[in-house]
Every structure is written in structure tokens, then in C-alpha cells.
């Protein structure tokens, strides 16, 4: 499954030729800045806790039961942690680079970066591993910064396809490398614990830019190395 999206500019009923295909552009605000503005209106913590009480009552529970008295506070605190990515700036994570590459001219790959995110459709977790490679131009970014970038986008309500595209776009825009490759493989609990209930089914998404997009051999090498065990 590929995170590429057909562009919206083709004529009615026209299919773009494969050689002319390019993914739709993302809005830079989706991958460069914090998602929550300081002046953005938000419910108070007390209002959020009352909303949790409403959901508890909706499922048929007694909100006054001893074991549930402190649950609304705990849920809101958990949300502060699980969705902290809305307050973090992806561009800031990538803004410090290093020039000591000694003429290195191949791609840099970090694989098996574990993450947990939440599906924006059911607000249920999906989790797995992200693999990212990029071909630097003179300067490289600290390895931990790419892992932090995965966490920022993971700690938001997401679709896996969108998260894959955001990671590639942020690296491409800030580092301006020769190419970026992203592979995400994840299990979705909205599919494994409800609905069709297919436990152990994994979804794979990819996004390629630059030299990776234009060179199928490099795509294959990236995928082979990323999934090697």
C-alpha cells in the first residue's frame, strides 16, 4: 500500500501517465509547525473531564462508583501525554545538522523505530515500526531527531497513510536531501479488536521522494534493508 495520492489537477476522467505521476502536495502547516496555535480556543480541563464522565455514563456505568471517581482526571492526563505531538514543532526537531560527513554519498537508514499512534476514525491505537532513509547533501541530522519526528506525528490523531506522507514531506522540506524513503508497518486495533477482528494483520505504507522516487533500484534496496531480519 503506497501513501501516494493522485493529483487533483488531471482532466476529468484522465489518468496520469506513470512517468508523469507525482504525489499531491501537502500543506506545509501539516508538517512544519505545531498543530495547536497559542490563541486557539480549547475546552478547559474541567470541561474535558466532564466529557469523560458523559462517556462513562453512556456505556452504562455508574460515574459515582469508587473505582471510577478519579477516572476522568486520569483519562485527561493520559490524553495530554498521548497527544502531545499537537504542541510540538517538527521543523524545530530537524533544524540542527552536522557537516562532518567525510564525503559520504549513500543513504542513511534508521529502521525499526517503534511508535504508537491513534486512528482518527475510531480513536483507537495503531502501533508498529517506522523505517526512514534519506540521501544527505553535505550535512546530516542527528539520528535521534528522526526518531523524535516519528513520535511527534505519532502523538496525533492520524491515518497511517497521512503519517507516512508527513514524515517524508518534513524531512524533504527541512533537510532538502537528494531523496527520502519512508516505510511504516503497523497493526490497527480498530481492525484487530473490533469490527472484522483480524488480529496480526499489518498495514504497510511507503512514500518516496527525489532519488528514491526516480530510481526503482534504490527503492528496492531501501525496502530490502529496512525489512531485513
Active site residues: 119-122, 160, 188, 190
Q: Identify the DSSP state of 68.
A: G
Q: Give burial (CB, 10 Å; 0-12/13-18/19+) of 47.
A: exposed
DSSP 137: B
CA dihedral sign, ordered 48, 54, 57, 63: positive
Is 162:204 a contact under the CB 8 Å cutoff? no
- At 3, phi and psi to the nearest 5? -80, 0
Cell output for 150: 516519528
Give the length of the chain: 229
Residue showing cell 502531545: 84
Q: From CA 175, how far away is CA 140, in angstroms rounded?
A: 8
- DSSP lists the bridge partners of residue 203 as 186
Amino acid at each position: 500500500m503506497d501513501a501516494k495520492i493522485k493529483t487533483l489537477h488531471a482532466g476529468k476522467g484522465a489518468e496520469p501517465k506513470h512517468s508523469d505521476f507525482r504525489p499531491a502536495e501537502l500543506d506545509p502547516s501539516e508538517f512544519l509547525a505545531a498543530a495547536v496555535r497559542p490563541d486557539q480556543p480549547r475546552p478547559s480541563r474541567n470541561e474535558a473531564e466532564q466529557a469523560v464522565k458523559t462517556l462513562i455514563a453512556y456505556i452504562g456505568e455508574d460515574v459515582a462508583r469508587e473505582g471510577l471517581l478519579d477516572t476522568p482526571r486520569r483519562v485527561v492526563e493520559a490524553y495530554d501525554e498521548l497527544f502531545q505531538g499537537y504542541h510540538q514543532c517538527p521543523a524545530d526537531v530537524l533544524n540542527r545538522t552536522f557537516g562532518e560527513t567525510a564525503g559520504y554519498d549513500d543513504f542513511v537508514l534508521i529502521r525499526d523505530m517503534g511508535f504508537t499512534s491513534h486512528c482518527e476514525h475510531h480513536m483507537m491505537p495503531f502501533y508498529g515500526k517506522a523505517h526512514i532513509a534519506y540521501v544527505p547533501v553535505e550535512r546530516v541530522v542527528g539520528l535521534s531527531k528522526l526518531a523524535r519526528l516519528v513520535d511527534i506525528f505519532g502523538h496525533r490523531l492520524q491515518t497511517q497513510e497521512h503519517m507516512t506522507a508527513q514524515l517524508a514531506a518534513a524531512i524533504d522540506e527541512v533537510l532538502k536531501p537528494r531523496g527520502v524513503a519512508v516505510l511504516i508497518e503497523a497493526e490497527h486495533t480498530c481492525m484487530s479488536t473490533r469490527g472484522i477482528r483480524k488480529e496480526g494483520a499489518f498495514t504497510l505504507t511507503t512514500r518516496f521522494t527525489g532519488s528514491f522516487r526516480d530510481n526503482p533500484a534504490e527503492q528496492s534496496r531501501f525496502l530490502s534493508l529496512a525489512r531485513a531480519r
